[in-house]
Structure 1
Amino acid sequence: MCMIQHEDKILLMNRPDKLGFPGFIAPGGKVDFPESIVDGAIREVREETGLVVRDIVFKGLDEFCDPADGLRYMVFNYLATSFEGSLLDHPPEGELLWVKIKEAMELPMQDWFKRRLPLFFQEGTFEYSFIWNSQTNETIKETKKQYGVDIQELTLGL
């Protein structure tokens, strides 16, 4: 996943229900073998938005594990503060909108994305891990770590 920031705005896409994970979200997707994680993030941004991101910075890792299914889903999160190109006229994943950072949390979005959104704009990196039961949709264990962040900053949010 790659959050794209331009001044006081971020680029979000409004995913329709038919594509899964409906609501506002940052661009991202799966990594194609054998590309690197960062190359996959840059490619996904280009495919979904038309933009080529520059000055990309790793912000953190978010992982979800379901022991019953043997599933581990990892999301590598990046922030890009410069880019080239123009937005696609007909983006494949949903409508693209530049949104003020301070207003983004008011938009409809998945809970996991809402939890992660402020972390893109804080100093340091994060590592979140959730073990859950997909059949009951219950979190069994969660681990949340933030590195290089002043504890006062965490209480400020966006």
Structure 2
Amino acid sequence: MCMVQDGSKVLLVNRPDRKGFPGYIAPGGKVDFPESIVNGAIREVREETGLLVKDIVYKGLDEFCDPVAGLRYMVFNYLATSFEGELLESPPEGELLWVEKDEALQLPMQDWFKRRFPLFFAPGTFERSVEWDARDRIELKKTDRRYA
């Protein structure tokens, strides 16, 4: 996932219900083997928005574990503060919106993204680990850490 910031504004994607995570979210997606994680983030932003991000900085890790199924899902989070290019006219993942960073949390978005949003802009890095019961759709245990 890569938050794109331009001054006081951030670029969000309004994902429709059919994409699995409805509401506003930062661009992102899966890493294609064997590309690096940061190259995957850069590629996903380009595919979803048309922008080529520069000055990309690692901000933190979100980890979701389902101990019953033995699965782990990891999201590497980045912040890009410069870019080149123009926004796509017909983006594949949903409507693109530049919004004031201080107003973004008023938009409809998933709770997990709402909790993560301020961490993109805080000093240092973060790590969030959630044990998740996918069958009952509940959090079993959560650990949040911030590093200066």
Residue number in structure 1 paired with 2:146: 146
Residue number in structure 2 paired with 1:42: 42
Q: CA-to-partner distance for each residue in 1:20-54, whole Å, 9 max, x for gaps?
A: 10000000000000000000000000000000000
Write the distance in 2 (CA, Å) between the matches of 1:74 and 1:112.
Answer: 13
| Residue ranges of structure 2 left out of the alignment (5+ in a row) | none
Shift of 1:64: 0.3
Shift of 1:136: 1.3
How high is the TM-score relative to the length of structure 1?
0.92
Counterpart residue type for residue 68 of structure 2: A
1:104 has 2:104 as partner: yes
* Range moving further from structure 2, 72-81 or 135-144: 135-144
1:22 has 2:60 as partner: no
Shift of 1:137: 1.6
Shift of 1:68: 1.3
SS, match of residue 42 in structure 2: helix
1:31 has 2:59 as partner: no
| Residue ranges of structure 1 left out of the alignment (5+ in a row) | 149-158
Write the distance in 1 (CA, Å) between the matches of 2:141 and 2:13.
Answer: 30
Percent identity over the alignment is 72
Write the distance in 2 (CA, Å) between the matches of 1:137 and 1:95.
Answer: 28
Q: How many residue pairs align between the two structures?
A: 148
Shift of 1:143: 1.1
Residue number in structure 2 paired with 1:136: 136
Residue number in structure 2 paired with 1:156: none
Residue number in structure 1 paired with 2:91: 91
